[in-house]
Amino acid sequence: MIKYVFLLITIFFTSSFLNAGQIYINVGSAHVKKSLLALPALNYYGSFSSGKRAVKTGQEIYKVIKNDLQVSSYFSFVDPAAFLEDTKLTGLKPKPGAPNGFDFNKWKVIETDFLIRIGYKINAGKIEMDAYVYYVPQAKTVFARTYKAELSMTRSLAHRFSNDLVVELTGKKGIFNTKIAFTANLHGKFKEIYVMDWDGHKSSIKRITRSKNLSISPDWSPDGKKLAFTNFAYHPKARTRNADLFLYTFATGKMELVAYKKGTNSGATFHPNGRYVYYTHSRNAVSDINRVDLVSERISSIIKGRKKWTLDLEPHISADGNQIVFSSTRSGRPMIYTMSINGTSLKRRTFAGWYNSSPRFSPDGKKIVFAGQDRGAHKGGFFDIFIMNTDGTNMQRLTSAMKVNSSKNANNEEPSFSPDGQKVIFTSDRTHRKQLYIVDIDGSNERRITFDRYNYEKPRWSPYLEQ
Phi/psi of residue 131, nearest 5 degrees: -125, 135
Quickly list H helices, 73-153.
104-108
Integer Cα distance of 223 and 59 in angstroms:
33
Q: Is the dihedral of CA 311, 315, 318, 323 positive or negative?
A: positive
- pLDDT tens digit string along 418-456? 999 999 999 999 999 999 999 999 999 999 999 999 999
Please list the pLDDT of the chain residue by residue as tens digits (467 residues). 444 443 456 666 554 444 556 889 887 654 668 999 999 999 998 776 667 889 999 999 999 999 999 999 899 999 999 999 999 999 999 999 998 999 999 999 999 999 999 999 998 899 999 999 999 999 999 999 999 999 999 999 999 999 999 999 999 999 999 999 999 999 988 999 999 999 999 999 999 999 889 999 999 999 999 999 999 998 887 788 999 999 999 999 999 999 999 999 999 999 999 999 999 999 888 899 999 999 999 999 998 866 777 889 999 999 999 999 999 999 899 999 999 999 999 999 999 999 999 999 999 999 999 999 988 777 778 999 999 999 999 999 999 999 999 999 999 999 999 999 999 999 999 999 999 999 999 999 999 999 999 999 999 999 999 86
DSSP 102: B
Integer Cα distance of 291 and 1 in angstroms:
27
* All domains in the chain, ordered by first residue: 5-170 (3.40.50.10070), 179-461 (2.120.10.30)
DSSP 52: H
Decide if 285 contacts 264 (C-beta within 8 A). Answer: no
Alpha carbons within 13 angstroms on the beta-carbon side of residue 332 total 5
DSSP 396-461: EE----BPTTSSSBPPEEEEEE-TTSSEEEEEE-TTSS-EEEEEETTS-S-EE---SSS-EEEEEE
Instruction: Identify the pLDDT of residue 375.
Output: 83
Residues 6+ apart with CB under 8 A from 110: 38, 78, 82, 83, 84
435, β-bridge pairs = 428
- pLDDT tens digit string along 186-238? 998 899 999 999 999 999 999 999 988 999 999 999 999 999 999 999 888 77
